[in-house]
Amino acid sequence: MAEETAILGGGCFWCLEAIFGDLKGVRKVNPGYAGGLIPNPTYQQVSRGDTGHAEVVQVVFNPETISFRELLEIFFSVHDPTTLNRQGNDVGSQYRSVIFYQNEVQKDQAEEVTEEAALLWPDPLVTELEPLKDFYPAEPYHRNYFHLNKEQNYCRFVIAPKLAAFRGKFASKLRS
């Protein structure tokens, strides 16, 4: 089975990891950092907002089951791509809406889906489209964060409602 990867940033990587991890055809989701100025940043460095990195997820998927285009369509429906450097109470450039493409095919598809998504939102999109230079995996304690910390307040009041809305909207695309 040939696999592909998508690197997407749309706020806190804990939310995106929980959402994309539920999809058929997604083999794994790795939280991490991309788009910054220093190699191998830490969560503490990125959280300060001065490294240029975004919190992202690396989505490893089977394109025969779910396409890059479908992942992008879901991406635009699970975060607000009209708020600059912000998702809810998460504020800073590390929470920006961004697609890091890895080749010209991904770039072209990202441009197309972004144009289509722009028609669905009342305000202009601020989603950045950048070539991927480096992806740095987040520290191990960030992996599978929501599922391991469901009682934590951020998980209960931010991630859980977002995940429930996603599951209702995309039930046909979820793992059994």
Residue 17: both structure tokens together = 């990891």
Instruction: Report pLDDT digits (tens) over 59-112.
Output: 999 999 999 999 999 999 999 999 999 998 899 999 999 999 999 999 999 999
| Residue 161: per-residue pLDDT | 92
- In this structure, the number of other CB atoms found within 10 A of the CB of residue 16 comes to 26
Work out the burial of residue 7: count CB atoms within 10 Å of its CB; fewer than 13 is exposed, 13-18 middle, 19 or more buried: buried
Write out pLDDT tens, residues 4-25: 999 999 999 999 999 999 999 9
Sign, CA torsion 11/90/128/164: positive
The whole-angstrom separation of Cα 57 and Cα 137 is: 9
pLDDT recorded at residue 1: 62
Residue pLDDT, tens place only, 32-62 = 999 999 999 999 999 999 999 999 999 999 9
The helix-helix angle for 13-20 and 68-78 (nearest 10°) equals 130
Closest CA to 70 of 124, 130, 8: 8
Which regions of 11-152 does DSSP assign to beta strands (E)? 26-34, 54-61, 86-87, 90-91, 97-101, 128-131, 135-137
How many Å apart are CA 91 and CA 46, to the nearest integer? 12
Which residues participate in catalysis according to the annotation? 12
Cα Rg of the chain, angstroms: 15
Tokens 């479908």 belong to which residue?
A: 70
How far apart CA 30 and CA 17 sit, in angstroms, is 7
Sequence-distant (≥ 6) Cβ neighbours of residue 25 within 8 angstroms:
61, 62, 63, 64, 65, 66
Q: Is the pLDDT of residue 176 over 90?
A: no
Domains and CATH numbers, the chain: 4-173 (3.30.1060.10)
CA gap 77, 115 in Å, rounded:
14
pLDDT of residue 7: 98
